[in-house]
Each structure stands twice: as structure tokens, then as C-alpha cells.
Chain A
């Protein structure tokens, strides 16, 4: 890796991640009423609510994801391949779409709510069951996040030595194998996965906003965008502390787990339809219910008013530009992420365990709203410089940098893992043969990394195109993305149109993933 390339990459990574944090500190320090804000009991209450909601989400996600991971990684059951595929789909469904889908069932005018009301039972999924416990919002967020538990647990179990399972089975039967070998293997991935879920849940904005859950991010968003940027920056500080805590707990297992390589190829014990039923439950709740509810809403409207034009056509004619905007932002962010991540991944692959790598990894715990606030504050400070002023006002680069910073740690880790999986002597062979650094990179390393690089492009693009929280703060005027449109349309558009737009957005996000899956299948990798 050239020193110049590494320096540019570090510069970009700093611009995306470190500079925003610095300017949050600067703005918070210069804001008046620091003490009054920080000792405000209302702030403490919101912070406690945030932590309680995140903890509930984490518990729900582990309860849903852990058994699924154990089953996918360690056992064979009918439909296991289809369920393994569907288990990752909730990651493609943005949280707000998940929420809209579930609210079609359990919302104020949801089918289940109305059915229960006719029986005299009142249900309000937005309400707290008791102080600090919001089962509705926590459930919906957990359904969006449980794959982050299931997939690493499955990967950890898949990596388990099959002879260890066989030995335990011979000693004490299947239950002994489960107890002694399979579950402990799955547990190794659990702390990292749970920390990540906690971090993402404590910083999530869309679900609490749609369900009126009183958490700190809502107050930050409102204060920063409506009242005072200084006070907004101050309110971010407790969020930063909770993110730092989650980051400190964030171990390597989640990042090192990699893909579920070999799943389904080794001989595993069959558990029959009971395994299918257990594994199907989170998939049913996380994919089939919300998507099915969206489809059902469209069908219901079509049956009610057969002469009405297709909601897909109507909504697409109004939001085509938003699809284009999302595409532009996602593509630009993917390019920036990839160009920044490659030199960093090469650096980290050569020097494993560096503190800088751990810090970069930990930045995944940064709430998107915090990153957005920091990015705005950083660029606001240079807005009197002629060229930088244009950048600040256009907003395009701000969003691209924000998205890049948000997803950089994930892509760096994936690329680094890909590089570490390569036979190191392959590059060394080119080196001793006289190949220059550039020739080694283009002639040997990149062709060998092709599959990992494509996977990273797909991941970065998909994450960027489904992102909402950061985009809400940073999107340039007149350039709403489709996710922003969905979020705004919830409050005023017809349900069928919102549902149609949600389905189109999910399909749009799923396109590159589907393409990648087909490519891998064709190559048999």
C-alpha cells in the first residue's frame, strides 16, 4: 500500500468520523447553559428511556436471533436453506418500513387492533406497558435487528469442529451435544452481536419517531433542527457516552464472524419440522408479516375501489425523482466508502490489532443522528470559506460523507477479513517475482479479492440506499430520497400509496443483493 494512498484514506476517514465529533465538542462547549441542560431531569428521563428501550430491543433480538442462529448453524431441517436466505432479509427492510408494515396490523386502525376492539380489548402498541418498557417499539426494532444476532451465531456454530459435536453426541446424546458444544459455540458470538444491537437501537430515530416513543434521539432531532444547534450538540453528548459504552462492549466476534461459509454442506443432525417451526417464527415476524401487511393493504384498497389507478403507478409518478436521488447518494457514498476502505483494510490486514483499527471498528456504534449533527456543525464552521461554502449549502457532499462515515467501519472490516483470508504467499510470490506495489494490487490482490469487493459494494450500496436517520438531517434541499419520502408520506398520504412505495423501496434495495446472490450461485461459490 502506498503511503500517499493511506494518507488520503486516513484523511477521508477523519473527515467523515473524527472531524464531526470534534465539532460537536466545540459547539457544545461554546453553547450557553451547559450545566442547566445536562442536569435537566427531563434529559435524564429521556436518556434512561433510551437505554431501557435499547436494552429491551437487545433482549428481544437475542431471544429471536439466538435460537435461529443455533438452528441455521448446527442443524438440518426442512426449508433450512430458504429460511437461511430469508433470515437476512430484515436487514434490507428499513426500520420505518418495518414499522409501517406492523402498524397495518397493530396500529390504531390496524386489522388486529380493530378485531380486538370488537371483542372489547384495547391495544395500543405505542404505549409503555410500565415505565421504561415499550414492548411495541422494542419488538419492531428487534425484528429489524435480530439478523445481526442470528447470522454471527450461525457462523460461530458452523465453524465448530463437527467432531466435537460427534464426541458429545456419543457421550450423552443430542441434548448433550447441544448443551456442551453447540450452544457454547453460539454464545461466543453473542456479546459482540448484542452490543451492536444495543448500540444501533440506542441511536435509532425512525421507529421511536413513528411510534412517539419518548427517547433522547427524538429530542436531539427536534432541538437541533427546530430550536438551537448548540443545545442540540449538548444533548448529543449523553448519546455519545452510551455509544462509547456499547462500543467498548463491542467485541470482535460480530466482525470476525464473516459469512456463513459452509452452512448446509457438512453433515448435521436433523431436527425435523420442529426446527422449521422455531426458525420460521422470527422470519415470519420480521419479513412475512410486515411485507404481507403492506401487500394486503394494497389489495384491500383495490378491492374497496376497483376503478382507482394502481397505487404503484400513482406513487411512482410522484416519487421517481426520489428513487434517482437515493441512487445517486448511495452510489457516491459507495464509491467514497470503497476508495477509503481499501487502503485502510490493507493497512489493518498487515498490522492486526492496531488501536486505530479498534477505534474505527467502534465507530459503528455512533448513532447516525450524532454523525449527522457533527457533519453539519463541522461544515457550518467552514461555511465562510468560498468553495467550502458552496459545498455546505449544496448539502450533497455532506450526505455522501455522512453515509460514508456511517458504513466505513463495516466495509473496512469485511475487506480486511477478505484480505486475511487470502494466501499471503500469493502476493509475496508476486513481490519476489519483481512486481511493483501497483502491479501486485491490480494483477494479483484485486482479482483474488473480486468476490469480497463485490460483496462490499453491495453491502455499502444497500445500507446507503435504505438509510433514513442520517439522511433526514443531511439531504440537500429538493433532493429527498425515497426513504425520506416514505417517512414524510406516512402522515398525509393514502395508506395504499405508502404501502406501495414501501414495497417498491424494499424491492429496489433488494436488487443488488439478488444480483449478487445470483452471481455467486452461477459461479458456485
Chain B
């Protein structure tokens, strides 16, 4: 059974450096919440604080109704009953696969009979039954990751923290690991906090996503909200392949850009706005569109990705057909686009 997680105005310092600045996030019971952002954003630090491995300088963290950490007091990590999958796995070289699980179950006070049954179940779920007597140094990267996950969920923790669970894995193995996590968390009902720098992974696994940068929370929301209504240029760009086109607001939902007059999905603040243009928003060969120079062209995932230039603005478009570099094409914009105010601090 899961737990809710409440992160309130958390500030974490390391010496004079601020790693996390006044973060507040609420995660509901049994939800999966992802934290994404570039390296050094403070994602891992924040979740280590939730697990009790990093002290807070200010603010509070509550698991369910229990406040587990403030700047003055904290429940020790060993008493929080949190499952943690570390980025570097943190496996124990002297234990075999089975002994890893037996150790954590013993720490959790599970009886030997119950532990045996749980070990068999979890090993079956993660596909390590046949490797139960192997030590970590004889396992592949994917198998080690499965073991780290199995160890974290063996005690059926109320909260499972996953730190970059698919980093450094090949795409097929990464998909298998994601499936494995979904299967296990569905059975245990654990709340999941996921750290990743991969927006696709976050959107695929989480109900809500928090975007962080330089220790600050930029925006929290469902994947749909973040994609369609980014608060800032940084959020829009982090979510993927967005080009920001300078524009001048004509009226509430129309803006003049180098690609012509575009309609907006939101009403932005201020007259000067940046329109978020993504490759799939552009239509090539639109007779009403503007003329653009093709600056690059390559094949990717069943489509051609074209680099285009209109005046001083450069952006990418997806196309079913290739184009030659130097060729001119007409390009228009379909539907409405999100826009962010240029006065936004981020």
C-alpha cells in the first residue's frame, strides 16, 4: 500500500551551495511522480532527502501523515521503510541475488518462511529466478538493474524511489525495466518517485511530472499540461525539440511571427511573446505558408527531419519526403501553438 508524499518549502544546502531551493510538491497515494531536469538540477538530492539520506536545511517532508524530516529533526532513513533504486545500483558484491533479498527482508523483520516465499515471488517477477545464486559481478547491466529493483520492492515499501532506473541501458532493456517496474508497483501499490533526465520516460511512466533546473522547481503538472501549456521557455525547450519564435501579440490569441500570424493555445501575459514551435506543428508545402530555406535533411524514425531557416530564425520540421539542402519550401503552422511570455524570468 502506498503513501502520500508532501514536500514543503524544502531547501537543501551543502556548505554555502544551495542544491535545492524552496521546493514544494505533493504526491498522491499510489501515484507515480517523475522529476526531470538537466544534470545538477537537484533531483537526486531532493529524493535522497525524502529517503533520509540528506538533511534538510529548511522546510519539511511528510510521508502520509508523519513528518519525517525538518531542519531540526528527522526520522532515520532506516526507519522510513522506503525502497530506493540507486543510479549506481549499490549492490553488495559479497551477496548473491537471493542473499540480497534475504538481507533486506531480515532487516524488515520478515520471518524466514515468509521471506522465502516473497523472494521466490519477486525473483519470478523480475525474471531472476534462474540467476538466484549468482553474484552481482557476474550479472549483465540489465540483470543488475533488475536485482536493484527487486531488492527495493522486496519489502513492499509504501514509497519506492527510482533514481535514473534506465540510465546506461540499451533501449530494449530499458523498456523491459520500465515494464518490470510497472508490474511490481501495480502489485505492491507503492507510491513511486522517479528521477530521470529523459522526458519520454517521465511521460511514459508518471501521472505527474515536476521539471527542475538549478535546484528550482520550474513547473509541475500532468504530461499533457506541461506539453501544451509550458510556463516558461526553459520548460518548453526541456520537453523536447521546441524552437522559440519571437512574436508580437496582435490580440488575445493571435501573434505575428516570421512564419506569419499564428493562433495561440493560451492567452499569454505581455505583448512580447515566444511561440513554441515543435517539428510536428509545421506543415511543409502549405500554399499559404512562408518560404523557408532547407539547411539540413536526414532520416529519423520513419520521417525526414528538415532544418529550416526563415530570416534569422532556424527550426526543425518533420516531413514524409526528403528535401535537398539549399532548396526552398513553403512552410505553415497547423493548429494553435503554446506561447510563453518573454518577460518570464526563466
A associates with B: yes
Q: Which residues of A contact B90 (CB under 8 A)?
A: 423-429
Distance between Cα atoms of A323 and B63 in the complex (Å)? 62
Partner of A431, one of B77, B87, B108: B77
Chain B nearest CB from A346 CB (Å) reads: 16
Q: Is the CB of B88 within 8 A of A433?
A: no
Q: Is the CB of A432 within 8 A of B78?
A: yes
Give A438-473 as 1s and 0s: 1 = Cβ < 8 Å from B's Cβ atoms. Answer: 010001100110100000000000000000000000
Q: Is the CB of A434 within 8 A of B94?
A: no
Partner of A434, one of B81, B86, B87, B88: B81
Distance between Cα atoms of A450 and B107 in the complex (Å)? 22
- A430 proximal to B (CB < 8 A): yes
Chain A nearest CB from B62 CB (Å) reads: 17
* Given A431-B52, A434-B155, 20 more pairs with CB closer than 8 A: A423-B88, A425-B90, A426-B92, A428-B84, A429-B84, A429-B151, A430-B107, A431-B77, A432-B53, A433-B78, A433-B103, A433-B107, A434-B104, A434-B107, A434-B109, A435-B104, A435-B107, A444-B92, A448-B92, A448-B93
Distance between Cα atoms of A443 and B78 in the complex (Å)? 15
Q: Which residues of A contact B193 (CB under 8 A)?
A: none
Chain B nearest CB from A509 CB (Å) reads: 30
Q: Is the CB of A426 within 8 A of B91?
A: yes
B residues 36-86 with Cβ under 8 Å of A? 51-53, 77-84, 86
Q: Is the CB of B51 within 8 A of A432?
A: yes
Chain A nearest CB from B310 CB (Å) reads: 43
Per DSSP, chain A at the interface is helix
Q: B-side interface residues toward A, CB under 8 Å? A: 51-53, 77-84, 86-94, 103-104, 107-109, 148, 151, 155
Distance between Cα atoms of A436 and B87 in the complex (Å)? 23
Known: A436-B78, A444-B92. A429 touches B107 (CB 8 A): no
Distance between Cα atoms of A428 and B90 in the complex (Å)? 8
Q: Which residues of B contact A435 (CB under 8 A)?
A: 78, 103-104, 107
Q: Which residues of A contact B155 (CB under 8 A)?
A: 433-434
Q: Which residues of B contact A439 (CB under 8 A)?
A: 107
Q: Is the CB of B93 within 8 A of A432?
A: no
Distance between Cα atoms of A432 and B88 in the complex (Å)? 15
Distance between Cα atoms of A439 and B108 in the complex (Å)? 12
**Chain B minimum-CB-distance residue to A427:** B90
**Chain B minimum-CB-distance residue to A450:** B94
Distance between Cα atoms of A311 and B151 in the complex (Å)? 63
Known: A428-B53, A433-B108, A448-B93. A443 touches B103 (CB 8 A): yes
Chain B nearest CB from A427 CB (Å) reads: 8
Distance between Cα atoms of A436 and B106 in the complex (Å)? 11
Q: Which residues of A contact B52 (CB under 8 A)?
A: 431-432
Partner of A448, one of B89, B94, B109, B151: B94
Q: Is the CB of A431 within 8 A of B53?
A: yes
Distance between Cα atoms of A428 and B109 in the complex (Å)? 18
Chain A nearest CB from B79 CB (Å) reads: 7
Q: Is the CB of B94 within 8 A of A433?
A: no
Query: 6 tightest A-B contacts by CB?
Result: A425-B90, A425-B86, A433-B104, A429-B90, A434-B107, A447-B94
Distance between Cα atoms of A270 and B14 in the complex (Å)? 47
Partner of A425, one of B79, B89, B94, B107: B89
Chain B nearest CB from A116 CB (Å) reads: 59
Chain A nearest CB from B262 CB (Å) reads: 48
Chain A nearest CB from B261 CB (Å) reads: 54
Chain A nearest CB from B77 CB (Å) reads: 5
Q: Is the CB of A430 within 8 A of B81?
A: no
Chain A nearest CB from B16 CB (Å) reads: 15
Chain B nearest CB from A160 CB (Å) reads: 25
**Chain B minimum-CB-distance residue to A432:** B84
Q: Is the CB of B151 within 8 A of A434?
A: no
Q: Is the CB of B83 within 8 A of A432?
A: yes
**Chain A minimum-CB-distance residue to B80:** A432
**Chain A minimum-CB-distance residue to B82:** A432
Distance between Cα atoms of A150 and B83 in the complex (Å)? 47
Chain A nearest CB from B285 CB (Å) reads: 49
Q: Which residues of B contact A443 (CB under 8 A)?
A: 103
Chain A nearest CB from B61 CB (Å) reads: 14
**Chain B minimum-CB-distance residue to A429:** B90
Distance between Cα atoms of A26 and B107 in the complex (Å)? 52
A residues 375-434 with Cβ under 8 Å of B? 423-434
Q: Which residues of A contact B86 (CB under 8 A)?
A: 425, 428-429
Q: Which residues of A contact B148 (CB under 8 A)?
A: 429
Q: Which residues of A contact B151 (CB under 8 A)?
A: 429, 433
Chain A nearest CB from B326 CB (Å) reads: 38
**Chain A minimum-CB-distance residue to B84:** A432
Q: Which one of A425, A426, A427, A428 has the greatest number of beta carbons of chain B within 10 Å?
A: A425
Distance between Cα atoms of A443 and B79 in the complex (Å)? 18
Q: Which residues of A contact B80 (CB under 8 A)?
A: 432
Distance between Cα atoms of A448 and B95 in the complex (Å)? 10
A-B contact pairs, 23 of them (CB 8 A): A423-B88, A423-B89, A425-B86, A425-B89, A428-B51, A428-B53, A428-B84, A429-B90, A429-B92, A430-B92, A431-B78, A432-B51, A432-B80, A432-B84, A433-B78, A434-B78, A434-B79, A435-B78, A435-B107, A439-B107, A443-B103, A448-B92, A448-B93
Chain A nearest CB from B257 CB (Å) reads: 47
Chain B nearest CB from A438 CB (Å) reads: 11
Distance between Cα atoms of A442 and B312 in the complex (Å)? 65
Q: Is the CB of B92 within 8 A of A425?
A: no
Give A482-509 as 1s and 0s: 1 = Cβ < 8 Å from B's Cβ atoms. Answer: 0000000000000000000000000000
Distance between Cα atoms of A444 and B93 in the complex (Å)? 9
**Chain B minimum-CB-distance residue to A445:** B92
Chain A nearest CB from B144 CB (Å) reads: 12
**Chain A minimum-CB-distance residue to B161:** A432
